[in-house]
Amino acid sequence: MGRAFEYRKAAKLKRWGHMAKTFTRLGKQIAIAVKAGGPEPENNPTLRSIIATCKRENMPKDNIERAIKNAMGKDQSEYKGMTYEGYGPHGIAVFVDTLTDNPTRTVADVRSIFNKFSGTLGNMGSLAYLFDHKCVFTFKKPSVDMDNLILDLIDYGVEEDYEEDEEEGTVTIYGDPKSYGAIQKHLEEQGFEDVGGEFTYIPNDLKDVTPEVRETINKMVERLEEFDDVQTVYTNMKPEEE
């Protein structure tokens, strides 16, 4: 089975990273999508995908429409995706994914937390070998055979393992981030509804930790999440099994 499947199975979570303020995070993603492809979802597949994710996260329709309108404003700041990587306490790798209109401010904020917890902030890409970059799509469970669908998508780098959420009635698949657009297009052409896509980093070298270390790392992550620029924080700390 793929690492993504095994990691989520161990974690028993719907998310791999620690999600920062969800609506703020999604609002920034909407702003970037609108700037790049316009405000009309039917003509902007990236925006269409983000809106589907917003709905899945129960983001109110008014919030979505407001984010699109704000992104069309002439004074709207340009957001850039920046990643910050380093080691936290006890050698745990920490990967911070951000969207910012002021990288100088953001790196200062992130560095302050690494310093506070006696960590070390490294250069961009220094921990890339510890995480697999994936695109993730979640959509309503189809009536077609999933194994046949996966076979159709293998050429796009989609992993054989997929996840079903019986309670939500959805399916989640993982693929090569370079094939994001092609995967989304294929799913939509096949008639799948509310196809929400995003990107994630999945650790490939999980480390066991003591309860004390886990508490410290969790506190560090919580402090990083307090910054509005932070989208998601990933670590290679082995998930706590229930």
Residue 141 is predicted with a pLDDT of: 78
5 and 88 share one domain: yes
Higher pLDDT, 2 or 209: 209
Query: Helix count (H) and strand count (E) of the chain?
Result: 8, 9
> Could you tell me the pLDDT band of residue 76, with boundaries at 50, 70 and 90?
low
195 and 222 share one domain: yes
What is the count of structural domains for the chain?
A: 2
Sheet holding 196-203, edge to edge: 163-165, 170-175, 131-140, 196-203
Domain CATH number, residue 64: 1.10.10.200
Averaged pLDDT score across all residues of the chain? 85
Rounded Cα distance between 221 and 4, Å, is 21
237 and 136 share one domain: yes
95 and 213 share one domain: yes
Q: Is the dihedral of CA 211, 111, 124, 197 positive or negative?
A: positive
Domain CATH number, residue 218: 3.30.70.980
Residue 1 is predicted with a pLDDT of: 47
11 and 26 share one domain: no
Q: Is 105 helix (H, G, I), strand (E, B) or coil?
A: helix
Give the model confidence (pLDDT) of 186-230 as tens digits: 888 888 877 888 888 999 889 999 999 999 999 999 999 999 899
116 and 209 share one domain: yes
109 and 221 share one domain: yes
6 and 126 share one domain: yes
Distance from first CA to last CA of the chain, Å, rounded? 21
159 and 41 share one domain: no
113 and 206 share one domain: yes
Quick check: 168 pLDDT over 70? yes
122-157 burial, b if ≥16 CB within 10 A, otherwise e? eeeeebeebbbebbbbbbeeeeeeeeebeeebeebb
Q: Supply the range of the domain harboring residue 154.
A: 1-19+80-242
Quick check: 10 pLDDT over 60? no
Quick check: 153 pLDDT over 80? yes
Mean pLDDT is lowest, of 46-50, 73-77, 219-223, for: 73-77
Residues in the chain: 242
Rounded Cα distance between 117 and 216, Å, is 8
Residue 9 is predicted with a pLDDT of: 47
Higher pLDDT, 183 or 77: 183
Average pLDDT over residues 29-49: 88
